Structure 1
Amino acid sequence: MKKTSLIQKLEVYKKEFHEISESIIQPSIISDQNQYKTLLKKYKKLEKIVSLYEEYNKKLTFLKEINFIIENDSDPEMKELASTEKYKILENLSSIEKESCRLLSSSKEECATEDHRNAAIVELRSGTGGDEACLFVEDILRMYTMYFKKSGWKYKIIHAQRGGIKGYKEIILDVNGEEGVYANLKFESGVHRVQRIPKTESQGRVHTSAITVAVLPKVKDIEININLSDIKKDTFRSSGSGGQHVNKTESAVRLTHIPSKITVECQEERSQHKNFEKAISILRSRIYQNEKEKRLKKISVKRKSLISTGDRSVKIRTYNYPKNRVTDHRIHKSIYDLAGFMNGNIQEMINFLKLFDKK
């Protein structure tokens, strides 16, 4: 693990440690024995990591001082002593790095976090429920875009497929920000279920529909090298808005990665070249995620938590409109402000998921 990556990861754990330190003394947490025991267990684990991180920072500071002596001191004997001390410090740093990685996870696969990534691909797809599911995709899209705005993140629509009457069958977003994009959004992967009375329902009965959300880390070409000979490219006319131009030119692109059989479509741009670039970006993230999920399956037996495994078949959340309630089933947490939640106030739920992740 690179030093910069390790420091970034340890900073995240240090911040989380202070958050738990504040939460664990709250009366509402203390009164809930199950919640208190869970947080206390994680507090003790993080305490060891933070202590190691503080020791690591002290060694780095000492190393800077030693390097200054080696570069600037005119006394040969002092330089020799400094060089000997530098060797010891480097050995200590190496030991701390190995111990940090061991504490952070029980395997090399877990140690390779994606939390440092400040860009993500977010895919929303309608599931069971027909037109109502398409409408809910549009509602969740609005929820996320309002959350992005509150977080100071930017987003672009890469691909969109409209529903039969209204809403979307599928929509894919490219989300970018200065920090915390993937670390926060990764918890959204899974099945989102809605319970409400559809506008088309004449008898006032509550219907249940579902959509799927997939959050993928956006990766660079140097991380996933795609051989163009492994890609089958098809072009077709866009079915989206765009007037006569869209109807007359085959600007939309469909890419199929032959080895993995992953297929990606993009038709938002009028330029075939731009659609190809966006499709390649999505394809790269999907291939990367596919490989990541294979690694996670190997270690899934060791993990009881499904909070951030990215398993898209797991029902993670229910939005119950008649009861004004949103419930996350992974942590059994309910928030009784569905209107506020749908207006982008989802950080509270994400913070709870962060606390319970990897417990």
Structure 2
Amino acid sequence: MDQLPSITPFQRRLDELDAQMAEPTFYTNSRKAADITREQQALRQLVENYRTHERLGADLAEHARLIKDPKADPELRALAEQEIPEMENRRDALRQAVLLAMIPPEPSDSRNTVFEIRAGTGGDEASLFAAELYRLYTKYAEGRGWRIQPMSSSPSERGGLKEVIFLITGQQVYKQLKYESGVHRVQRIPVTEANGRIHTSTITVAVLPEAEEVDVQIDPQDIEISVMRASGPGGQGVNTTDSAVRIVHKPTGLMVYCADGRSQQKNKAQAMAVLRSRLLKQKEEEEQAKYAAQRRNQIGTGGRSERIRTYNFPQNRVTDHRIGLTLYSLPSVMEGNLDPVIEALQRADFEEKLAELTGGPVPSRVRAGGDDD
């Protein structure tokens, strides 16, 4: 059995938190106190599991010694032999729990999520599939009891979506959906194709953890806000006032446009929320680049230049190129049954982090864009 990583840094951090919680002013900041309490409880469970794992290791060694001792009582040897399998199973389970707890959680995992879907190459077919992806993620969210809040959309003439931005709120939203960022490719015969040829289109998906004002400070001097009249397909007015809002963040060039709300104030608030989320995502990726370039190359960052998944309708196939996963259940996936894909991505991510933690071999991966099927 491989040795677990040292518990010392986790015990040290637990001691620090215990000391903070003993201070008279600890509950002055209720939000900070709640965060520290959750971390302290998780660390205490980790340390307890680690100690139990070590005790079981010692007990197993003693049982093995007893079995090999020719002078030991036969009944005791038989009892030791019976107990070993259960003890080994329990120790293995504790080992997995300890390793999982030692992997630091992503800071944004518990956040709500700003979702952006845009039609890429492929013209009308791309916008039609963008609308289908919007439906897919909406059904997935509804199945988990999450709430969808539309923020901005740009419909196409054929009933598709050139772009749609929406907020998903609920438990552990970003943790489940963060792997969806990237380029999604669809291969099928469009309804407008007279010769029955398979057409390839791409759609970009951006998954952003919802940012709060305390996460990203935006200097009012750094933004340019414009108001204009919103318009729908064919030039129809969505409303009769100048309620659409466009915000440009001058230092980065990021631009956000929101027009779905009936009031200028609501659209401005939504546009600022999207801008903060994009800036937070940008900030996080810059930090990750400093110390996790290798892992990001293997698992994939979900960047927009990466083709992460292919939806092949003639073959009834969904392929995630980052982990080499292929499922022949496309209709089910399009109905929002994403769990088999997301769970496989989560397992791959866990194995990757586990290899880094234990110094073991890094699992091989099929990188994004690695094949053309």
TM over 0.5: yes
Q: How far does the alpha carbon of each residue in 1:155-196 deviate from its partner, in whole angstroms, 9 at most, with x for none? A: 01100011232201100010001x221001001000000000
Q: How many angstroms apart in 2 are the aligned matches of 1:320 and 1:112?
A: 32
The 5-angstrom pairing of residues 1-359 of structure 1 reads: 3-4=36-37, 6=39, 47=95, 50=98, 100=102, 104=103, 113-117=107-111, 119-177=112-170, 179-240=171-232, 246=238, 248-303=240-295, 305-307=297-299, 309-358=301-350, 359=352
Q: Closer, same or farther in 2 for the Cα pair 1:7/1:122, shift >3 Å? A: farther
Letter in 1 for 2:126: A
Question: Number of residue pairs matched?
Answer: 273
Q: What is the aligned-residue RMSD (CA, Å)?
A: 2.9
Any gaps of 5 or more consecutive residues in structure 2?
1-12, 14-34, 47-90, 353-373
Q: How many angstroms apart in 1 are the aligned matches of 2:146 and 2:157?
A: 30
Q: Closer, same or farther in 2 for the Cα pair 1:9/1:123, shift >3 Å? A: farther
Letter in 1 for 2:149: K
SS at structure 1 position matched to 2:163: strand
Q: How many angstroms apart in 1 are the aligned matches of 2:43 and 2:299?
A: 20
Q: How many angstroms apart in 2 are the aligned matches of 1:239 and 1:8?
A: 52
Q: How many angstroms apart in 2 are the aligned matches of 1:240 and 1:221?
A: 31
- Cα contact 1:187–1:307 (8 A) shared by 2: no
Moved more, 138-147 or 305-314: 305-314
Letter in 2 for 1:113: P
Q: How many angstroms apart in 1 are the aligned matches of 2:304 and 2:100?
A: 35
Q: Closer, same or farther in 2 for the Cα pair 1:199/1:213, shift >3 Å? A: same
Structure 1 or 2, whichever has the larger Rg, is 2
- Cα contact 2:239–2:262 (8 A) shared by 1: no
Q: Closer, same or farther in 2 for the Cα pair 1:167/1:146, shift >3 Å? A: same
- Cα contact 1:8–1:116 (8 A) shared by 2: no
SS at structure 2 position matched to 1:138: helix
- For residue 225 of structure 1, report the CA deviation from its aligned partner: 1.8
Q: How many angstroms apart in 2 are the aligned matches of 1:141 and 1:175?
A: 12
Q: How far does the alpha carbon of each residue in 1:92-130 deviate from its partner, in whole angstroms, 9 at most, with x for none? A: xxxxxxxx4xxx36xxxxx6531122x100000000100
Q: Closer, same or farther in 2 for the Cα pair 1:52/1:154, shift >3 Å? A: closer
Q: Closer, same or farther in 2 for the Cα pair 1:344/1:52, shift >3 Å? A: closer
Q: How far does the alpha carbon of each residue in 1:262-296 deviate from its partner, in whole angstroms, 9 at most, with x for none? A: 11000001210110000000000001111111112
Q: How many angstroms apart in 1 are the aligned matches of 2:149 and 2:301?
A: 25
- Cα contact 2:300–2:322 (8 A) shared by 1: no
Moved more, 141-150 or 221-230: 221-230
- Cα contact 2:299–2:322 (8 A) shared by 1: yes
Q: How far does the alpha carbon of each residue in 1:63-94 deviate from its partner, in whole angstroms, 9 at most, with x for none? A: xxxxxxxxxxxxxxxxxxxxxxxxxxxxxxxx
Letter in 2 for 1:126: A
SS at structure 2 position matched to 1:303: helix
SS at structure 1 position matched to 2:299: coil
1:80 is aligned to none
- TM-score w.r.t. length of structure 2: 0.67
- Cα contact 2:114–2:209 (8 A) shared by 1: yes
- Cα contact 2:228–2:242 (8 A) shared by 1: yes
Q: Closer, same or farther in 2 for the Cα pair 1:325/1:113, shift >3 Å? A: same
Letter in 2 for 1:131: D
Q: How many angstroms apart in 2 are the aligned matches of 1:46 and 1:172?
A: 42
Q: Closer, same or farther in 2 for the Cα pair 1:221/1:306, shift >3 Å? A: farther
